[in-house]
Structure formats: structure tokens, C-alpha cells
Structure 1
Amino acid sequence: MRHEWFIEPREYARQEQRRGRRFAFTSLVPARTALVVVDMVPFFVTESPYCQGVVPNINRLAEVLRGAGGTVAWVVPATTERTAIDEEFYGPEVAEVFRTSGGTGPVPERLWSGFAPHEDDLFAEKSAASAFFPGRCDLPELLARKGIDTVVITGTVTNVCCESSARDAKTLGYRVIMAADANAARRDQDHNATLHTVYRTFGDVRPTDEIVELILRS
């Protein structure tokens, strides 16, 4: 199942009037680009046809970017300590479920079975919604070592961890591209609200085909 993703024409027109073109980033350097795959673990993917539906596009992006000399980074939820605020907000039972949602063991083994990560990919755990929040994930440090300046955000949930990661990546100075058809939420409405927000303020929003084209022509 795929989201019926949509950005209103008036938003495209607004950006075109502002900067003279629809998209901020008309090219990228593969060697300085990372595909960031957020939370594609069994806890989220098993019961979500939308999550399962984006697996082929994530795999395609990973294969093309690796082939062009880019980086693939897999990020999963860390097992954290349950706090009093977590219990107050979620309730004890749900707080415990979320605390352990990322599974245990080596990160590559915790990913959804439809992926085949490579040994030279990057692997990180995050203890917050965002993969880029300082002190809660070592992904920014791993990307800095490779000179990454552009991130392509994919994964789940579009309007929670993926949006949070896109926002913080922009704040840290990365060029952000969100893959419109390689992120998954619970409903089209939730998914599209995030695409609107990201495109309006934090980065470009493009489908997989267009991102692949950017990679291959660079």
C-alpha cells in the first residue's frame, strides 16, 4: 500500500515565486549525500501496509546511492529507561512497549527482514524521536566523518520521527530532501501534513524517481 501523497499547487507556486524555482536543491554530490532510514524495524513495519509499501523504494534509493559512492545510514530506536514523564504521558504499559520498540542486538539484525544492509553502511540508535537531536543519537557525528552535507529522509513514522529528524537536520545545517513515497505514516492526511510542512520550511520533497535522477546525473 502506498500513500496518495500530495502537495498543493499553491505551495509550489509560493516557492517558485520566492526563489525562482520549485526545488531548492537542483543537484547533489553523491559522495556527500546520505540516505537516512528511520525506524524501519518489525515493531512499526509488521502491522503497517504503508510501511511495507515503502520498502522497495528505500531499497532502490539505497542501491543507487551506494553505487554512486554515497552513504546509507540505518537508524533504530534505542532501548531506553522508562521515565515518570513517559508513564504519565503514555501510561505504564504503552511506555514499556515504546521503550523496547527497537528490539535488541546488533542494529543490522533489528531491521525489517526486507532489507539487506551492507557492512560499510552506517548504523545508529536514537533515544529521541529525532535522529539528529544533539546527545540523543550519534548519527550527526558519523555523517560528519564522511563529510555529508545532504540527507535524504526515509522511513517511519512520517509525521513523528521522520519529520523530527528532517527539522533537526535542517537546524544543524544539512540540505534536507524528504522522499515523498519512501516515508510511511498511519494515514494519508498525516503523511501529507508533514510533506507540506517540510516543503514549506525545512527542505525539498521529491518522489523516489526524481531523487534517483538527481543521484545519477550528478
Structure 2
Amino acid sequence: MLTPTSTSLLVVDAQRGFTDLCPAELPVPGGADIVAGVNALLALPFARIDATQDWHPADHRSFLGRTDNLYPPHCVMNTPGAEFLPGLHTHRFGAVWRKGYDHDFEAYAVTAQHPGFAAFLRASGIETVVVCGIATNICCFFSARDLRRAGFEVLMVEDASAGIDVPVAGLFQAQARNEGLTLGIRYGIVADVCRAFGK
């Protein structure tokens, strides 16, 4: 069982730029298909619901031709790619934590851009964090990893998330999942979370 009064939901980067709605950006297979699963989670009585939003400047260090030369420009601030996915019940977000907005700082995890996030959750009475979004093995994983290391119970919801292997960056779905399991991150599906809430 999950205790609603001490469990939060973290929706990671559920944005157009990570889907085939913006094919020139960084589409993640199945990215646009997570909306129904995320909305099912958003309907549950979490103690709080947070979302992250990639919010890059046009010349971010991770973009092709820049310092790290890893990714095509994506989720550039104030462009359609940075918008949340159509149909997503964003009115349920209690707070939106933007990240990646510094030209020369990569912030896969919300905890990298906002180092006080874990302490904020703890002060809010949170003990367990349910994580979903895009990409399962990158921004979702790094956020989940940091929260787990900070002492939270963490559950990654796989059918409300989508992942992608990025060999040039050494980011692989299977590797991230194995590391997560070793750290004690739990993996499940939307139905598991609903049952744990007694729904």
C-alpha cells in the first residue's frame, strides 16, 4: 500500500519535444503514448504532484555543434517543443520545476538544477515518490536515483514512461533499470499504483 499523505508524484519532462509531435527535436519512441497513463496517476490523491520541464536556451551545451554535441536542439524555452503534451492534465500539477535553462550546465535530474528539492519534499512530509515521464532511463532515472539516495522510497511507473538508448552518451535503458533495482528503486505499472491507493 501507498500512503497518500506521504506519497508524491513526479512527472518528468512530459513535453512535445520528446515525441514525434516534434520530429526534428528529440523524439522518444512511445513518448506521445504516455498521456493516458500519466493522467491516470494524476487522478490519484497524492499528497503533492510536481512536474519538471526541460527549458533550454537555444545554444545549450548539450546541443549538436556545442560543447557536448549530444542532442539536436529540443525543448527550447518558449517554443512548441517545450510545451507539455496535448491532453495532459497539467491543472493537477502543484508545481513545475524548470531545468536545463543554464547555457553551460546539464541538468538531467530536477535535483541537479534544484539541489534543495529532496529537502523540500521531506519538509512536506513526503516519504515515497512515484516517478513517471520521459525518458525512463535518463531524466526520470537520474531524478529517481538522487531521490533514492536521499532516503526516499521510489517507484518508477514504466507504462507511464518512455525511454530511449543514447549510445553516444552511454545511456541505456537496461543499464539504468539494473542500476535502479540495485539501488532499491521499485518498478511497476499504473495498475500497481492504483491498487496501492485502493483504487
Query: Into which bin does the TM-score normalised by the smaller protein fall?
Result: 0.7 to 0.9
1:134-149 pair list within 5 angstroms? 135-136=113-114, 139-140=117-118, 142-149=120-127
RMSD (Å) for aligned C-alpha atoms: 2.9
Give SS of 1:216's match.
Answer: coil
- Does residue 73 (structure 1) correspond to residue 50 (structure 2)? The answer is yes
> Cα–Cα, structure 1 residues 35 and 89, in superposed 2: closer, same or farther, change >3 Å?
same
Q: Deviations over 1:130-181 (max 9, x none)?
A: 1122x54664355344221211110011111111111111112211111121
Structure 1: which 4+ aligned runs deviate by more than 6 Å?
A: 83-86
Q: Deviations over 1:74-95 (max 9, x none)?
A: 110133584668623217xx56
2:12 maps to 38
- Does residue 90 (structure 1) correspond to residue 51 (structure 2)? The answer is no
Higher helix fraction (1 or 2)? 1
1:177 maps to 155
- Does residue 168 (structure 1) correspond to residue 130 (structure 2)? The answer is no
1:122-141 pair list within 5 angstroms? 122-127=95-100, 128-133=107-112, 135-136=113-114, 139-140=117-118
Q: What is the one-letter code of the residue matched to 1:195? A: R
Runs of 5+ unmatched residues, structure 2 = 22-26, 101-106, 166-171
Runs of 5+ unmatched residues, structure 1 = 1-26
Cα deviation for residue 120 of structure 1 reads 6.1
Kept after mapping to 2: 8 A contact 1:41/1:102: no
Give SS of 1:103's match.
Answer: coil
2:168 maps to none
Give SS of 1:115's match.
Answer: coil
2:90 maps to 117
Q: Deviations over 1:82-138 (max 9, x none)?
A: 4668623217xx56x14xx15339xxx9311121222662211123001122x5466
| TM-score for the superposition, normalised by structure 2 | 0.75
| TM-score for the superposition, normalised by structure 1 | 0.69
Kept after mapping to 1: 8 A contact 2:9/2:46: no
2:180 to 198, 201, 208: 198
2:32 maps to 52
- Does residue 63 (structure 1) correspond to residue 43 (structure 2)? The answer is yes
Give SS of 1:89's match.
Answer: coil
The count of corresponding residues between Structure 1 and Structure 2 is 178
**Larger Cα Rg: Structure 1 or Structure 2?**
1
> Cα–Cα, structure 1 residues 120 and 114, in superposed 2: closer, same or farther, change >3 Å?
closer
Percent identical pairs in the alignment equals 21
Kept after mapping to 2: 8 A contact 1:184/1:191: no
Cα deviation for residue 50 of structure 1 reads 0.8
- Does residue 211 (structure 1) correspond to residue 193 (structure 2)? The answer is yes
